[in-house]
């Protein structure tokens, strides 16, 4: 039995966290020992498998600051990951054969000094996620960006989540003469299959006897473009007759962490925007749902709205398609690889009008909705199955273990 330690900055409930948890589950089911090291893990804001003991978790360095006077988030993240890497290398009782780390690559050289084989999963270059700022901020980012590129290149294996991210990776890290391998995320389909939805009245407070529910699942972050869903709903009102419009509702579900100012502010901004658009009575806002609640929402919803532009991949569209729901998404980034336009959903321009027209088709044609949903389920089973994901990851781990034996 090999030992694989996952090093991740913050085990919350985002797409990156879902991927690494699923990766750990995949290897665990293949007979590997897995363990998480993280700098923060809140039992009230995490995935079930990291809370119930399915995957052991050790938290180190949570006392280190996340920012300095509301600034220097990236530098603090680097320091926290370096501290966690030093813990693994020098102080823990763990004896990993392989380290699987993601998001922050600065820890890679430290782990390599101890002779560990390291897999680095690049969800997206961190330097491209940083918001533009002043000239001083640009100067601050120069050494961090350089360090990200150099330390990423030190990994034994580099993985990315889509061909889109692969192209961005190569355009960003020009010093690296390496082409990362694409390992598409998957979802733990067994959990979906085994989870019984909660009663409708425990999930949603909607009085309509025959509602049509649009669902959006994303973190409360401005880059997720959630206002597009609200504006599309308002646009949809002019496309439907009164009877159809009365049935329509939109549920916004978001990862929400009170420690993150943007989560708090953006949620309030969206509520205010709904009021200004005159659609507040059609809206439900939910924060950080449990896994069972999310499965229940996907069960009762009729269609998923996925609004981020140039999303790196996107786990939520896979979850929706597996739940037999059509997906309406922006025609860019990873969704272009997961969603088939007019087959499993609709890829639209980033405008409220384009989204509203696609939404109209779903509301007015339940048969089409069901057809798209069934095609989505088949696509996930054929191309993004958990079995295929598990087998591919297990092969990567096995090959690195063979390399380690040769090195020793």
Residue spans of the domains in the chain: they are 3-186+386-407, 191-383
Compute the average pLDDT of residues 259-276: 94
* pLDDT, position 226: 97
Q: Which residues contact 176 (CB under 8 A, 6 or more apart)?
A: 149, 152, 153
* pLDDT, position 13: 84
* pLDDT, position 394: 95
* pLDDT, position 191: 87
* pLDDT, position 133: 79
Percentage of the chain with pLDDT > 70?
100
Compute the average pLDDT of residues 91-114: 95
Architecture of domain 191-383: 3-Layer(aba) Sandwich (3.40)
Provide the pLDDT confidence category of residue 348 given band limits of 50, 70 and 90. very high
* pLDDT, position 136: 87
pTM of the model as a whole? 0.86
Compute the average pLDDT of residues 378-403: 94
* pLDDT, position 383: 92
pLDDT in tens, 193-225: 999 999 999 999 888 889 999 999 999 999 999
Closest to 392 measured CA to CA, from 138, 12, 21, 26: 26
How many residues comprise the chain? 408
Backbone angles phi, psi at 59, to 5 degrees: -100, 130
Q: What is the DSSP letter of 203?
A: H
* pLDDT, position 407: 82
Compute the average pLDDT of residues 357-378: 96
Question: Which has more pLDDT, 45 or 96?
Answer: 96
How far apart are the C-alpha atoms of 124 and 308, rounded to whole Å?
Answer: 14
Over 80: is that where the pLDDT of 132 sits? no
* pLDDT, position 220: 95
Q: Which CATH entry fits the domain spanning 3-186+386-407: 3.40.630.10, 3.40.50.2300, 3.40.1160.10, 3.40.50.2000?
A: 3.40.50.2000
In contact, 283 and 301? CB cutoff 8 Å: no
- How confident is the prediction for the chain on average, in pLDDT? 94
Cα torsion through 199, 372, 225, 140, rounded to 10: 110
pLDDT in tens, 159-194: 999 999 999 999 999 999 898 999 999 988 888 999
Closest to 373 measured CA to CA, from 339, 341, 342, 345: 345
Compute the average pLDDT of residues 100-126: 95
* Region at 307 (left for phi over 0; alpha for psi -120 to 50; beta for the rest): alpha
* pLDDT, position 85: 96
* pLDDT, position 244: 95
* pLDDT, position 137: 85
* pLDDT, position 69: 86
Question: Which has more pLDDT, 258 or 323?
Answer: 323
Q: How are strands ordered across the β-sheet holding 345-348?
A: 283-287, 248-255, 212-219, 303-306, 327-330, 345-348
Over 80: is that where the pLDDT of 26 sits? yes
**Residue 69 exposed, middle or buried by CB count within 10 Å (0-12, 13-18, 19+):** exposed
Fold match between domain 3-186+386-407 and domain 191-383:
yes
pLDDT in tens, 52-96: 999 999 999 999 999 998 888 889 999 999 999 999 999 999 999
Provide the pLDDT confidence category of residue 305 given band limits of 50, 70 and 90. very high
In contact, 60 and 107? CB cutoff 8 Å: no
* pLDDT, position 260: 87
Over 90: is that where the pLDDT of 351 sits? yes
């Amino acid at each position: 039995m090999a030992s694989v330690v996952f090093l991740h900055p913050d085990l919350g409930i985002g797409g990156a966290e879902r991927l690494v948890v699923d990766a750990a589950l995949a290897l665990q089911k293949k007979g590997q020992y897995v363990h998480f090291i993280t700098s923060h893990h809140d039992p009230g804001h995490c995935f079930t498998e990291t809370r119930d003991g399915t995957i052991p978790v050790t938290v180190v360095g949570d006392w280190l600051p996340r920012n300095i006077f509301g600034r220097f988030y990236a530098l603090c993240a680097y320091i926290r990951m370096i501290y966690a890497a030093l813990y693994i290398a020098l102080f823990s009782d763990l004896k990993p054969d392989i380290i699987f780390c993601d998001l922050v690559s600065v820890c890679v050289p430290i782990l390599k000094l101890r002779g560990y084989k390291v897999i680095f999963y690049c969800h997206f270059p961190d330097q491209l996620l940083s918001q533009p700022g002043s000239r001083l901020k640009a100067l601050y980012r120069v050494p961090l960006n350089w360090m990200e590129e150099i330390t990423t290149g030190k990994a034994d294996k580099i993985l990315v989540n889509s061909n889109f991210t692969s192209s961005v990776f190569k355009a960003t890290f020009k010093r690296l003469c390496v082409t990362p391998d694409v390992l598409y995320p998957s979802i733990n389909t067994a959990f979906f299959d085994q989870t019984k939805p909660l009663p409708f009245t425990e999930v949603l407070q909607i009085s309509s006897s025959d509602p049509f529910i649009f669902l959006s699942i994303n973190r409360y972050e401005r880059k997720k473009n959630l206002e597009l869903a609200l504006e599309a709903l308002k646009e949809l009102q002019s496309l439907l007759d009164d009877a159809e419009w009365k049935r329509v509702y939109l549920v916004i579900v978001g990862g929400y962490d009170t420690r993150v100012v943007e989560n708090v502010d953006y949620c309030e901004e969206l509520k205010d925007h709904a009021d200004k658009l005159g659609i507040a009575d059609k809206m439900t806002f939910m924060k950080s749902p449990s896994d069972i609640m999310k499965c229940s929402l996907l069960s009762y919803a009729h269609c998923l709205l996925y609004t981020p532009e140039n999303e790196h991949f996107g786990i939520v569209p896979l979850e929706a398609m597996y739940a037999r729901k059509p997906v309406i998404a922006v025609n860019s980034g990873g969704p272009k690889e997961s969603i088939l336009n007019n087959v499993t959903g609709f890829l639209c321009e980033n405008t409220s009008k384009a989204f509203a027209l696609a939404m109209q088709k779903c509301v007015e044609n339940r048969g089409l909705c069901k057809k798209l949903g069934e095609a989505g389920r088949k696509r996930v089973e054929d191309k993004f199955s958990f079995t295929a994901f598990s087998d591919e990851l297990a092969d990567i781990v096995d090959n690195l273990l063979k390399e380690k034996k040769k090195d020793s």
